[in-house]
Amino acid sequence: MLFCPTCANMLMVEEGPECGMRYACNTCPYIYNITKKVSARTYPKLKELDYIMGSAAAWENVDSTDAVCPKCSHGRAYFMQLQTRSADEPMTTFYRCCNHSCAHNWRD
């Protein structure tokens, strides 16, 4: 944001009569033509995410239930429940296909 050097009000960007852009003050006649385009993009560094269910060892001692795998249609799946949201929300159930060649993960 730029401010007017004469009255200290915020300058607005508007289109000039020659199809160029310019800064103009709404309270005084100050106008400044924009001569070059400045653009830069800064992408934030994303933090690394932890696998929510831990390593593969987290699936070793879990129970199985009747659930159809959406990938291979196998009839059994391992499941575990984790509290992923606030305490007043229900727990999230995570499933893993019992078919070892599939091992597809999904949640309910």
Tens-digit pLDDT profile for residues 63-83: 889 999 999 999 999 998 888
- pLDDT value for 54: 62
Compute how many other C-beta atoms are within 10 angstroms of the C-beta atom of residue 12: 12
Query: Is residue 19 in a domain?
Result: yes
On the question of pLDDT at 4 being above 90, the answer is yes
Looking at the fold, whether 65 and 91 belong to one and the same domain comes out as yes
98 is in an annotated binding site: no
Residue 15's identity, in one-letter code, is E
102 is in an annotated binding site: yes
Looking at the fold, whether 60 and 94 belong to one and the same domain comes out as yes
Pairing of strands 12-15, 21-24: antiparallel
On the question of pLDDT at 85 being above 70, the answer is yes
Q: At CA 27, angle to CA 26 and CA 31, rounded to 5?
A: 60
On the question of pLDDT at 90 being above 80, the answer is yes
| 30 or 54, which is more confident | 30
Whole-prediction pTM value? 0.49
The encoded tokens of residue 96 equal 């893993």
Q: How many domains does the chain have?
A: 2
19 is in an annotated binding site: no
Residues 6+ apart with CB under 8 A from 43: none
Compute how many other C-beta atoms are within 10 angstroms of the C-beta atom of residue 93: 15
Query: Is residue 45 in a domain?
Result: no
For 86, the 3-state DSSP assignment is: coil
CATH assignment of the domain containing 67: 2.20.25.10
Domain hosting residue 86, numbered range: 56-107
Q: How distant is the alpha carbon of residue 78 from its chain centre? A: 29
